[in-house]
Structure formats: C-alpha cells, structure tokens
Structure 1
Amino acid sequence: MMNLLRSAVSSSKRSSVLRVVAVATATSGVVYSTDTGTRISVAIPESIQESKSLPWQFSQSLINRTEQSLFGNLAAFSARVSPKPEAAASNDEKRAPVEDSDSVKPPSGGFLGRDTIANAAARIGPAVVNLSVPQGFHGITTGKSIGSGTIIDADGTILTCAHVVVDFQSIRQSSKGRVDVTLQDGRTFEGVVLNADLQSDIALVKINSKTLLPTAKLGFSSKLRPGDWVIAVGCPLSLQNTITAGIVSCVDRKSSDLGLRGTGREYLQTDCAINAGNSGGPLVNLDGEVIGVNIMKVLAADGLGFSVPIDSVSKIIEHFKKSGRVIRPWIGLKMIELNKMIIAQLKERYPMFPDVEKGILVPTVIPGSPADRAGFKPGDVVVRFDGKPVETIKELIEIMDDRVGQRIRVVVERSSKETVTLEVIPEEANPDM
C-alpha cells in the first residue's frame, strides 16, 4: 500500500487526472478524481467480500473539511471525529462555557451523522447536574427527592423543575430550600432555591463556586417540528448524565389533553425515555442547545414524555428577574380556539352564530370576573385583542403578558352580525388556580 501511495503521489505531480489519494479505513483502497467525477476503488478481503468491483459516485458535500495530511498536500477526510474527553478542572482554574468549546463540532449539512447525537451530548453534558433534596418530618430525614438540572449561568444558576425542590403539598420549600448539587466532574455544592413557580413547574437553584462553571446554551423551541431529533439528558435514579434519544412527537400538546386543570399550557411531547430522576433535566436539539425542560411522563405507556418549551421557560425566568415571581393576568373567560371546520359546524347548528372566519369563542364567562364586569357574554367571539387580531389563546395570553390593572380594548363578534368593543382590566390570577 505504501508503494502504491508513493507512486500515486509521484504520478499526481505529473498528471491532473489523479488529484486526491486517501487510505480507506476499513480495507485498503484509494480515492481518485477525474474530470467526469470522483470515484472510490476499494480492495475488499474475500472473507467479507460481496462484490469485487464497486465504483460509487462520490459527492463533494460529504467531505466536511479539508486538512493537511501526512502525505503533503493531499485532501484527507475522516468518517468519524471523536472529541477527547475534557479533563476535570481543578478548583483554581476557570471552566469555559460548554457552548464555546472547539472540541465538539455542531452538525453540518443538515443531516444526521454518525456522531451527531454524541456531539450534542458532549456539548450539553458538563452543564447537567444531579439534584438531591432531603425530605423529613420534624427534623427527621425520611427520604430525599432526586432530579436533574442545567447550569444556565456561569455564576451558578441552575434551571430545574419546581416539584424536585419544592414541597407541593404544603406549598413551601423542602428542607428550608437546601439542595445538594453534584456536577458531572464529581464536585458537590450546597444550593438554595431562588425562585419556584408551581403552575409551570419551573424553578431556579443557586450554587456558589470560586471558578466559572460550564453552562448550557438555550435554543428556541419555536423552531421545532414534529419528527425533529432530540436527546434527553439527566440523572435517572441518580445515574449521572444518562443520555436517551428520540424525536419530537408533538410541539404543542395542550395541558387539557393530559387532563391537567388550571391555566392552559402547552408542552413538547417526545418519545425519549424519561424516568424518575430525569425531572428538571434538559431536552436538547442536535446543536446541543436546551429546547425544553423535562417534567413528566405517562406511567401507563412507553414513549410519552413531556417538557416545558424553552421559549416559555425564558419568559418565566424574565418574570423571576423582574418580580421574583410569575405574574399572570386573569380576566375570567373560558375560551375555545376556532377553525374553519368548527365554525362551519357551529353555523350549521346555530344559524345566528357570528359570521367570522377565525377567532376565539367564549362559551363561559365567570360571574364577578373582570370579563363579566366588562360586559362579555357567552357566545362572543373575540377577533381583536388590544388592537391585534387573535386566533389562538396563546396569542391572547402573550398580548396580556403581565399587564395587571391595565385597560385592554377587545373587539368581539356577536350574533346577528353585531360587533361590540369592550374594555377589560385584568387582575392577577390566584396562584392556586
């Protein structure tokens, strides 16, 4: 083979026909390029031989990058590039954020490669932590709550689930807010609960470190589509940094579909394996970015896990920073999103139904609520909210944001082609609702 390479290199200096030579890793062979296209010729041992002559057309887009090789100016390529594991940092040196690491390359070309999932896991791994919260009664420890979290700030801010670090029964922080935190490199810290929102099941924990900590990059859940590959990272049963892979099954699974009461919420549904201890861990895209927080699974079925979308989490974090809690306006309406099929069915059943093409139906107005005082009636169809056209409940909630006590103009359509403009002043929702 070395003689062949020497002769090939020598001949490449004299002829433009042979431009690229590389060693075939699994067997012996060469890669060469002609004016009509690039071909690969491989000599396969007879023990594994299926065909003695297999010339394949070879696309240049499959080569990720060109590097200098031991054979001079030959273009070398590799089917696999595995990053070296990063050594654990000492207490005296600073840890670089995970997303700044040059050792792990993001996926390129828009295809799922052999190392795509492994690289995404390597990028997020150092920022994933194990959480343990002692639980007890009158000072007697009776057990512990375990979960996962993600370091989102180099100063030690950890994103996790509220039910991991907060006692939902008494609506108070367990064990006076003490949380035992274990990093991937084995370091342990005692953290405290900064903020917790029970309704969204999102919480922030803080640890103090003398050195910068590895951090995860937050992505955008709005870019996800059903069928996108994702990985779930966490510490099920305290097994540090367990990786499971799957796809996004649904990007907007409503809480009502799951039988959950209260304010309508949407979740990411995935078939990644989720187990006890995964709660609070990140759901990650193939770029190694956090696009959700894993919070629950359906016990009676396999492959039904749910995560809070990171876009919603980011807004909750903004509320924490601004007010120390999540402020949710409430107007007192039961609402149903309309589409063309539902509208056609309602018009067929009720000839006096408003003549609309889209909007939000109000089947119920809660007595004594801000909406009741504003003059809303059952059967109204909300078409504009604060001057903006609305089609979904999510859009309406986003427009309200945290505008408690502020007057909002609402345009509704009623039967007999009646258009009415109302003014409603939202109140802050009861956190237990």
Structure 2
Amino acid sequence: MTTTAQTSDRLRTAIPGPQSAALQRRRERAVASGVPSVLPAAAERGGDGLLVDADGNELIDLASGIAVTSAGNPAPAVADAVAGQASLFTHACFMVTPYEGYVRVCEQLAELTPGEHEKRSALFNSGSEAVENAVKIARHATGRQAVVVFDHAYHGRTNLTMALTAKNMPYKHRFGPFAPEVYRVPMSYPFRDPAGMTGEQAAARATTQMAKHVGADNIAAVLIEPIQGEGGFVVPAPGFLRAVADWCSDNGVLLIADEIQTGFCRTGAWFACEHEDVVPDLVTTAKGMAGGLPLAAVTGHADVMDAVHAGGLGGTYGGNPIACAAALATIETMRTRDLAAAAGRIERAALQRLRALAEGDNGIGEVRGRGAMLAVEFAGADGEPDAERATRVAKACHEAGVIVLTCGTYGNVVRLLPPLVIGEQLLDEGLSVLEHAITA
C-alpha cells in the first residue's frame, strides 16, 4: 500500500478497510447525508492518542473528537465514574429533583474559571446551547438587545448561534432567516491584518465600529473566542483581548468568552483568557469538560446569572448526572496529571518542528497556536488562501493513519488538537506523518 505520506506500521488495511466500508454502505442507507465524517474509518475503541477502527487499524488521533477527549479516550477515572453513576441513576432532571453531581460541577466551575468574584453556573448539553443561553442571560441582565461578534467566529448551529457564526458554508447556507440584533466587527488576525497593526490598534478598529454602527448603550454583550476555533485557530495580537474587555467594562457591556474549544487546559492554561489576565463576565464551556459526554455550562458573575427569573434557564437533560460524574472525573484527571503543563509541552514540541518546516516552504503562510491548539495556514506569497493544498495534506495524513482536521474561513488551515495525554513518541510519529504530507 502506498500513499502520498509515509504509511504507518500501525495500519493493517487501506483506509477505509473492508469493515469500515461495510459500515459506510449501511450509513448511506440510514444516516442523513447532511451529517458528514472527515475520515471513513469506523472507530471501535480508543486510547491515549489512538483510535482503533473496525479493521484493526491504529489511527494516531490529532483531533480528540474536536478537542473533546483531552484527558483520554477513555480516561480510566472517567470510565469508572460513568459506570458508577449509571448503576445508581441515569436521569432525574435537575429542575424536578436536584442531585449533588450538578452542584459539584458548578462549584468546580466557580473555582476554575477566571476571577475571584462570586459566581453561578447553569448546565446544558452542547456548546451551542451554552452560547445561546449566555446571550439570553446577557440580554435579560442588561435590558439591552444587541450582541457583537467577530469576523471568522464560530459559535454553533442553532438558529441564534448560526447568526453569531461568520462562515456561510456549510454552517448557515440556506438555513435563514436568522436571529436579529447581531452585529459583526473585525477580529485581530495578525497574518491578515495590515503589517505592524498592534492588538490595541485592532481593538480600536473593532470598538470604534461597535460605537458608531451599533451604539454602546444598545449592546448587551460582546461575544468572543479568545482564540478562534473553526475560523482558523486565529490567535489575536497581544493586547487585543485586554483592550476589548476594557472597552466593555467602560461601557456597561458584558464580555462573554466562548471557551468551548479553548477551555479546560487546551491552550496551556485552564482557560485561554488567562493568557492575557482577562476576566470575562460570562464564560461558556463544553467540549473537553466531560471526557466525551455531552455537557456544557454558562458561568458568570452571581448578580448577572441570578438576574434571570426562576424557570428562565434549564432543560430536560442539562447537567445529566452521568455527564456530571464524567466532568468531575475529567477535571480531577486534568489536575492530577497537570494537563495544562502537558499542553505546553505539546506546543513546544510541535511548533518548533512546524516552524522549521515553514521556513523552507513558501506555501505555508503561518504556523500558530497555543498549547495543544495548533494550526498551519496554507497561502501563497500574496496571502491568497490555498484551500486545495490544505485538503491534500489532510487527505494524505488520513491515508497514512493520522487524524487531522481542516478549518478556517477560507478552508486553508490544517489544525491539530491532540489529546493532552498523548505520549511523546506517538506525537512525534504523528508529526512526522504531517511533515511528510506537507513536503510531499
């Protein structure tokens, strides 16, 4: 078997193998075609940085289910906690009868999220739900309606979060009309901003538009990913986030940090806002929070969260007891294994190699990221996005048994989200395949 990237000895068949191909045929008859898969390999079991498919192929996982299985897949403590809770009760609905797991998760969120102020949390099922509820809370607490978001942003697939999301295809195309009172301003994107633009200058560009086009007195919240995810792993210039936060504070606007992809040690800190000492009014979390189980949260200032009337927040499954047990075990695993530090080690190992590769490749526009949230943007000398090359590189990695993802407004970014527990040897092997795919 040959591919355009070096082929791992971990592969027993081509990708997809016969068992995965058989499942694909069943899938085509049963699953809506609007739900795609990046890699047609049927997962059967996991490990610390590996997924094993139905044909016995060991796939090096540099995606973590889109930043979800950060602590392992499964982490032993998470598997034990899930089994233990499932043997007691699987559901109660916290709005009907409360239980300790929900309260303990909220206590942990109060301790871990940025700031020493008194906090409250509400639990939900998905990142989209968390963002939508954060907007609800902000509007209710401020009495204002407008919400400001940024170019390249991604916040979800519900009706309101589609309005908040920047990219049309595939997230918004022909799904409108969308929710009103959403306004978009420029993000700090150092690779594509004018040369020499500082974070403070980029923030002034954005906040000037907020003031002139919307009016500060009309804005309930500014919603921002501290590092953008689907939009291309865009790391804003230093000072940008701080300046936006200061403008919000000066104008009575709530700052909502969407930490759904960046949170829970992914960037080398528990939350990405910590890199600039920014304390948001509200934080949304999900993904890496519960070791693969569906759980999300909004955490914020007690007075803001408690402004909503009883019954205004909730949901049948939000804060499911099994998901809460998984979250508590995930958080404990992150603490005991110091996975924030592990993300820093991944950053140092990967960026050194990828930046060295970029020095000799005029088709790599930028290598960037923090912690275990890293990206390679492909672009020509004039900055023109090269989505076709990003697609080819990802395809070559997949054929060689390494799971990577693409992203970006222009589809020209290959992103890496390895589990924070990945071993050095396995990471090295995965990076070698990626390097070979890029040079080939």
Q: TM-score range by the shorter chain?
A: under 0.3
TM-score w.r.t. the length of structure 2 is: 0.22
TM-score w.r.t. the length of structure 1 is: 0.22
Q: Which has the larger radius of gyration?
A: 1
